[in-house]
Amino acid sequence: MSKKVLIAVVGPTGIGKTKLAISLAQHFNTEILSADSRQFYTEMSIGTAVPSKEELQAAPHHFIQHKSIHESYSVGDFERDALLLLENLFKTRDILIMVGGSGLYVDAVVDGLDDFPEVDAEIRIALNTKLKEEGLQALQKELKIADPQYYQKVDSENPHRLIRALEICRGTGRPYSTFLGSEKASRPFKTVYLGITADRDVIYGRINKRVDQMIENGLLEEAKNLYAHKSRNALLTVGYRELFAYFDGKCDLDFAIEEIKKNTRRFAKRQLTWYRKNESILWVQHDAPLEEIIEKLQHRIQTVENA
């Protein structure tokens, strides 16, 4: 019986992961699991760069807009649901594809989540109060002192990530990073990481262009329709948070758009930092010919299967 292989397509935001994943799915006649935590929600389309109708029809996709922003959906929930789906799909497929920019979510499926202790729920309430009263910078400052190692790689613009780390720091008296890197979970499949990269100027240029396209496609109206729910965890994210500040009268629209670009570029930099610690990733240039990528990928798959 053939060994089961999961191809994890990773890389910075805006680099072309969706397009490549679809091409690979067509080549291997298989299906795609999205591990992009921003694309899970039905109400968020433009700001999360959800695949177009044509792209969704080009290959079967899973975990795209399957939840509402009013539902709680954690990385642990995703890990459970993704593993169940993989088990089912691998009954008829030898190769499946997972694509996403959320490194934590990809790692959860491949290696399992780290084991964190339970902490007092009041700590999270206190941290949320601090966020509301003192702002994001106050959380960033506290984490930088409490756990400088994790602060260097966390998405520091994501209050949900900051609060999660800080509640562990406060609740245990230990840095959040000391709980990371526990023994990897056993999986009934092999994983091949395929990373897409480019020079920094190319990545940043693609991001700036995509943000302009999002605005042109109606991101402002989408954010306006979601403004009443701006405190939901799903909306504490780049692309929406900046426009909510504009609606609050804290800045003008041009400034808000430039902030989206700047914060997205920072996010891409953190994504690359996250992935480059993984020495098993097969890196390819964003403009490499598909035939070349497939040839390298098949060689890597054979190597992993024979290991």
Predicted pLDDT of residue 262: 96
Structure tokens belonging to residue 248: 């609050």
Cα 55 to Cα 248: distance, rounded to the nearest angstrom: 35
CATH of the domain at 126: 1.10.20.140
pLDDT surpasses 80 at 198: yes
Q: Do 60 and 196 lie in a common domain?
A: yes
Q: Is 34 helix (H, G, I), strand (E, B) or coil?
A: strand
Q: Tell me: the pLDDT tens digits for 258-295?
A: 999 999 998 898 888 888 888 999 999 999 999 999 99
Does the pLDDT of residue 1 top 50, yes or no? no
User: Cα–Cα distances in Å, from 7 out to 39, 98, 142, 165?
Assistant: 19, 6, 37, 29
Question: Residue 296's CB: how many other CB atoms inside 10 A?
Answer: 15
Q: What is the pLDDT of residues 30-48, one digit of tens each?
A: 999 999 999 999 999 999 9
198 and 234 share a domain?
A: yes
* Residue of 158, 78, 147 lying closest to 110 (CA atoms): 78
d(CA 241, CA 136): 11
Residues 39 and 174 in one domain: no
Considering the domain architecture, whether residues 136 and 9 belong to the same structural domain is answered as no
Backbone φ and ψ for 34, nearest 5 degrees, come out as: -85, 130
Domain that holds residue 297: 5-114+182-306
If asked whether residues 284 and 188 sit together in one domain, one would say yes
Q: Pick the residue with more confidence: 181 or 243?
A: 243
Q: How far apart are CA 132 and CA 289, in angstroms?
A: 48
The share of the chain scoring above pLDDT 70, in percent, equals 99
Q: Are the CB atoms for 18 and 55 separated by under 8 Å?
A: yes
Crossing angle (nearest 10°) for helices 17-28 and 290-306: 70
Angle at which helices 103-111 and 253-275 pack, to 10 degrees?
A: 30
Query: What is the spatial distance between Cα 151 and Cα 132, in angstroms, rounded to a whole number?
Result: 20
Which pLDDT score, from 0 to 100, does residue 155 have?
A: 83
> Alpha-carbon distance 131 to 127, whole Å?
6
Rama region for 256: left / alpha / beta (φ>0; ψ in -120 to 50; rest): alpha
Same domain? 155 vs 202: no
**In this structure, is the dihedral angle defined by the CA atoms of residues 81, 160, 39 and 208, taken in order, positive or negative?**
negative
pLDDT mean across residues, the chain? 93
Residue 51: DSSP 8-state: P
pLDDT at position 156, please?
A: 85
The structural domain count of the chain equals 2
Give 2's pLDDT tier (boundaries 50, 70, 90): low
Tell me, what CATH number does 225's domain have? 3.40.50.300
pLDDT tens profile 215-251: 999 999 999 999 999 988 888 889 999 999 999 999 9
In a shared domain, residues 41 and 158: no
Mean pLDDT score, 176-196: 88
Residue 6 banded pLDDT, cuts 50, 70, 90: very high
CA distance 178 to 174: 7
What's the pLDDT at 182?
65
99 and 216 assigned to the same domain: yes
CA-angle at 78, arms to 158 and 32, nearest 5°: 105
